[in-house]
Amino acid sequence: MNAAAELVVAIDGPGGVGKTTVSRGVARALGYQSLDTGAFYRAAALLVRLHRTDPDDEAAVAAVLSGADLDYRDGVMLVEGVDVSTAIRTESITAASSRLARLPGLRLVLVERQRAWVAVRGGRAVVEGRDIGTVVFPGAAVKVYLDAPPDVRARRRAGQTSTRLPEVATQLGRRDRLDSTRATSPLAPAQDAVAIDTHALTADQVIARVLDLCRGRGIEPAGHPA
C-alpha cells in the first residue's frame, strides 16, 4: 500500500452529487491539490475515439492508454500537453467514459497514473471518483461518500449544462446503473467511509463537514497548527 495515502482525502459518489465543487473547496482550505479521476476516464474515452480503437477491445484500449501522456493541473485535464477540459465534457464522451470504465485492463493503467499523481505531491491531495476509498487509496486518511437522490442530482447537473432536465435524468440514471453494477471497482461506499447526504446542504456546509473529518484525523486547514 501507498504510505502517502495516510494524507489523502477520498471523495466518492455518483454523478451530479457535487464531488468536484466539494473537492476543490476542501483542497483550497487545506492547501492541497485536488484530482478529478473522472477526467482520466473521460480523457481515455477521447483518446480511444481519436485513435479509432475498438472500445470493446480491452488490450487495445489499455495499450493506447499505457502510451499516453495524461496530466491534470489546476483543474485542467491535459492529453499530450493539450487542454481537453471542454472536449471531455460532451454527452457522447460522458457516455463513452462510463462504458470504458468497466474494463479492468483500462482501470489498472489509470489507477496507477492516479496514484503516481498523488505520490509526486507527497500524498497531499483530495481525490474524487467512484473507487477512491475502496480501491485507489484504501488507506486514505479521510473517506467520504457523497450522495443525494437521483432527481436532486439531475436538477443540479441540468443547471450546469444546456441539456434539458428529462434528458439529463435519463443519462444520469443510465450511468448510475453502469457505474454501480460493473464487476470491477463498482461505485460503492467504502466500509469505513462517512456518508453525507448533500440533499439539504449547501456546498459550503458539505465542505465544512469534510474539513471537520480532516481535523479529526490531524489534517488541519492551511494556516492552522497541525
According to the binding rule CB under 6 A, does residue 145 interact with ligand DC?
no
Q: Which of 5, 29, 42, 142 binds ligand DC (CB under 6 A)?
A: 42
Phi, psi of 122 (to 5 degrees): 65, 20
Please identify which residue in 22, 125, 131, 172 interacts with ligand DC, judged by CB under 6 A: 131
Q: Tell me: does residue 24 bind ligand DC (CB under 6 A).
A: no
Query: Any idea how long the chain is?
Result: 226
* Shortest separation between residue 208's beta carbon and ligand DC, angstroms: 23
Q: In what order do the strands lie in the sheet with 82-83?
A: 70-73, 76-79, 82-83
- The stretch among 38-46, 73-81, 142-150, 200-208 that binds ligand DC (CB under 6 A) is 38-46
* Nearer of residues 15 and 18 to ligand DC, judged by Cβ: 15
Joined grid coordinates for residue 69: 501522456
3-state secondary structure labels for all residues of the chain: CCHHHHHCEEEECCCCCCHHHHHHHHHHHHCCEEEEHHHHHHHHHHHHHHCCCCCCCHHHHHHHHHCCCEEEECCEEEECCEECCCHHHCHHHHHHHHHHCCCHHHHHHHHHHHHHHHHCCCCCEEEEECCHHHHHCCCCCEEEEEECCHHHHHHHHHHHCCCCHHHHHHHHHHHHHHHHHCCCCCCCCCCCCEEEECCCCCHHHHHHHHHHHHHHCCCCCCCCCC
Q: Residue 99 or 124: which CB sits closer to ligand DC?
A: 99
By the rule CB under 6 A, 175 interacts with ligand DC: yes
23 forms part of the interface with ligand DC (CB under 6 A): no
- With binding defined as CB under 6 A, does residue 171 bind ligand DC? no
CB of 197 to ligand DC, least distance (A): 19
Q: Which of 202, 207, 104 is nearest to 156 (CA)?
A: 202
Residue closer to ligand DC (CB basis): 123 or 129 = 129
CB of 15 to ligand DC, least distance (A): 5
Q: In angstroms, what is the minimal distance from the CB of 10 to ligand DC?
A: 10
Nearest distance from C-beta of residue 100 to ligand DC, angstroms = 8
Site for ligand DC in 100-129 (CB under 6 A): 101, 129
Residues numbered 45-74 forming contacts with ligand DC, rule: CB under 6 A: none
By CB under 6 A, name the one of 65, 103, 123, 179 that touches ligand DC: 179
Footprint on this chain of ligand DC (rule: CB under 6 A)? 15, 37-38, 41-42, 97-98, 101, 129-131, 175, 179
